[in-house]
């Protein structure tokens, strides 16, 4: 008989699984395999979606982005839940970006859904959060990066697994400062989300000692992106657009609408690295990540979905796993009991990012590292070495407790 060793990268996951099961039984879990009806925890995924264009066909998001991450996490939850008398289900509803989200949200709630993953605009997210507040519905924001959702417009029934613009900007700025690339030029788009990211980059420069030596707006004239531009035309236009910029180390692009940033690398007047919405990009996850057990989740995801995991997949996966972890540790399916545990000091979720992740008490934003990568590999992760904090180094990314405007 051949003895097979457990691979080293699986050992932390195996220990965590045994710990969770043991803890649950120690707290009186009696639903498992004892003939009792499993506790069913219904999770909804409400998504605003329509096919998108991108500057490159390689960057068009997959049709199941986010949903696939939630589905893989449901399987993970049920792996443990089958021992503990818990059953997790996922109900996916898709609407168009400009449609009313409250009616489909209410239909979800009427079907028994108590937790909703929201892949929606900020306005849609706030609408469903307010609609579900009196009914005790907990919403997980897996897509919207607006800082205001965690600050001036925060809601007590909303948790955020998507990072904010300020977290992404801070993660990028820390790396540029660590590299001693302190002088930046900022080019930003004309759409609202572009301006929000640009403001986060300005904040990061002031916070960490960077200097934005010039700014320039790239106005979206409404062209058809790829079809109205040719390689020759772009090759001529971009050098001219960047010709009058002062001396700088890095060109920062704030182009969340994907209008121009992809055209900047290798086409600027002077040879400078591009970062932000193109080139070196900050994100909550990277398809090439293999550290901290990342290979294990990537392989499972690729086997199930036939592609690599992207950021919104990881955001959704982490939200579902947060619910599953709380259900395991509390041995309960009660919405408020799970939410209270997620807010507590005892909660943490393992998410293949180098450390256990927790939620900030002041605005219910998930603490998480920021990946910095290009199209093919991870370059670094922030927080960077030397950026310290009295509570958690992850709190050097984004709005810290003394700065918050949130009043839950």
Is residue 154 domain-shared with residue 31, that is, in the same domain? yes
The answer to whether 285 and 309 are in contact (CB under 8 A) is: yes
Task: Kindly provide the residue ranges of all beta strands, DSSP E only, lying in 296-383, ordered along the sequence.
Answer: 349-350, 356-357, 370-373, 378-382
For residues 11 and 386, what is the distance between their CA atoms, to the nearest angstrom? 30
Q: What is the pLDDT of residue 34?
A: 52
What is residue 53's predicted lDDT score, i.e. its pLDDT? 75
At residue 226, what are phi and psi to the nearest 5 degrees? -75, -45
Q: How far apart are CA 312 and CA 118, in angstroms?
A: 11
Q: Based on the fold, state whether residues 325 and 201 are members of the same structural domain.
A: no
What pLDDT shows up at residue 184? 98
CA dist., res. 145 & res. 162, Å (int): 6
- How far from 379 is each of 266, 289, 372, CA to CA, in Å? 18, 10, 6
For tokens 């998930």, the residue is 366
330: in domain: yes
Tell me, yes or no, whether 181 and 144 share the same domain: no
Inter-residue contact 109 to 132 (CB < 8 Å): yes
Domain presence at residue 406: no
68-to-1, 113, 228, 301, 306 alpha-carbon distances in Å:
39, 19, 33, 8, 10
Same domain, 19 and 80: yes
* Residues 17 and 63 occupy one common structural domain: yes
Residue 384 lies in a domain: no
DSSP-based helix, strand, coil % in the chain, nearest 5? 40, 20, 45
Q: Dihedral, CA atoms, 51, 55, 56, 59, nearest 10 degrees?
A: -50
Q: Which is nearest to 311 in space by CA: 92, 146, 163, 149?
A: 163
HSE-CB at 68 with a 13 A cutoff on CA atoms is 21
Reported as type and span, the H/E element at residue 187 is strand 183-189
Tally of structural domains, the chain:
2
Q: Are residues 318 and 246 in the same domain?
A: no
Q: Are residues 39 and 142 in the same domain?
A: yes
pLDDT, residue 1, reads: 41
CA dihedral of 10, 14, 17, 23, whole degrees rounded to 10? -140
Same domain, 99 and 246: no
Both 218 and 83 in one domain: the answer is: no
Q: Classify residue 397: in a domain, yes or no.
A: no
Residue 401 domain-assigned (yes or no):
no
Are 173 and 251 in a shared domain? Answer: yes
100 and 44 part of one domain: yes
Question: How high is the pLDDT of residue 236?
Answer: 86
Structural domain boundaries, residue 139:
8-163+311-368
Residue 214 domain flag? yes
Q: Which residues contact 110 (CB under 8 A, 6 or more apart)?
A: none
43 & 74 share domain = yes
Q: Walk along the chain (408 residues) and give the pLDDT tens digit of each residue.
A: 444 454 544 544 554 554 454 444 444 444 544 557 889 999 999 999 998 777 888 888 999 999 999 999 999 999 999 999 999 999 999 999 999 999 999 999 999 999 999 999 999 999 999 999 999 999 999 999 999 999 999 999 999 999 999 999 999 999 999 999 999 999 999 999 999 999 999 999 999 999 999 999 999 987 655 455 556 678 888 999 999 999 999 999 999 999 999 999 999 999 999 999 999 999 999 999 999 999 999 999 999 999 999 999 999 999 999 999 999 999 999 999 999 999 999 999 999 999 999 999 999 999 999 999 998 999 999 999 999 999 999 999 999 999 999 998
- Indicate whether 300 belongs to any domain: no
- CATH number, domain containing residue 225: 3.40.50.2300
In the chain, DSSP finds a helix count (H) and a strand count (E) of 10, 14
Q: Are 271 and 249 in contact (CB under 8 A)?
A: no
Strand, helix or coil for residue 106: helix
Minimal CA–CA distance to 202: which of 180, 178, 173, 174?
173
Nearest alpha carbon to residue 70 among 163, 143, 158: 143
Question: Does residue 106 fall inside a structural domain?
Answer: yes
């Amino acid at each position: 008989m051949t003895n097979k060793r457990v691979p080293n990268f699986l050992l932390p996951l195996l220990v965590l699984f045994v710990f969770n099961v043991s803890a649950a039984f120690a707290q009186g879990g009696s639903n498992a395999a004892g003939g009792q009806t499993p506790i069913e925890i219904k999770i909804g995924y409400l998504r605003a979606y329509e096919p998108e264009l991108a500057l490159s066909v390689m960057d068009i998001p997959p049709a199941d982005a986010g949903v696939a991450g939630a589905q893989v996490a449901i399987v993970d939850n049920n792996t443990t839940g089958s021992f503990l008398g818990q059953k997790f289900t996922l109900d996916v509803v898709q609407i168009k970006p400009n449609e009313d989200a409250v009616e489909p949200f209410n239909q979800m709630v009427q079907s028994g859904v108590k937790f909703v993953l929201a892949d929606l605009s900020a306005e849609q997210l706030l609408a469903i959060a307010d609609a579900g507040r009196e009914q005790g519905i907990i919403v997980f924001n897996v897509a919207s990066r607006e800082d205001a959702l965690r600050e001036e417009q925060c809601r007590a029934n909303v948790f955020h697994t998507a990072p904010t613009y300020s977290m992404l900007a801070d993660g990028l700025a820390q790396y540029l400062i660590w590299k001693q690339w302190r002088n930046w030029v900022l080019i930003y788009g004309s759409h609202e989300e572009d301006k929000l990211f640009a403001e986060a980059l300005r904040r990061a420069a002031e916070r960490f000692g960077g200097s934005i030596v010039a700014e320039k707006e790239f106005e979206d004239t409404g062209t058809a992106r790829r079809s109205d531009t040719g390689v020759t035309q772009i090759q001529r236009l971009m050098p001219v657009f960047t010709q009058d910029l002062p001396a700088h180390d890095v060109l920062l692009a704030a182009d969340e609408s994907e209008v121009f940033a992809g055209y900047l690398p290798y086409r600027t007047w002077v040879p400078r690295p591009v970062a932000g919405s193109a080139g070196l990009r900050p994100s909550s996850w990277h398809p090439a990540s293999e550290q901290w057990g990342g290979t294990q989740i990537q392989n499972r995801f690729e086997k199930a979905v036939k592609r690599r995991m992207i950021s919104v997949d990881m955001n959704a996966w982490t939200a579902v796993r947060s619910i599953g972890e709380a259900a395991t540790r509390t041995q309960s399916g009660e919405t408020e009991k799970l939410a209270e545990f997620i807010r507590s000091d005892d909660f943490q979720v393992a998410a293949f990012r180098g450390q256990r992740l927790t939620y900030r008490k002041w605005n219910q934003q998930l603490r998480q590292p920021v990946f910095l990568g290009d199209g093919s590999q991870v370059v670094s992760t922030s927080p960077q070495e030397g950026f310290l904090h009295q509570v958690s180094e992850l709190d050097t990314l984004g709005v810290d407790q003394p700065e918050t405007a949130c009043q839950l």
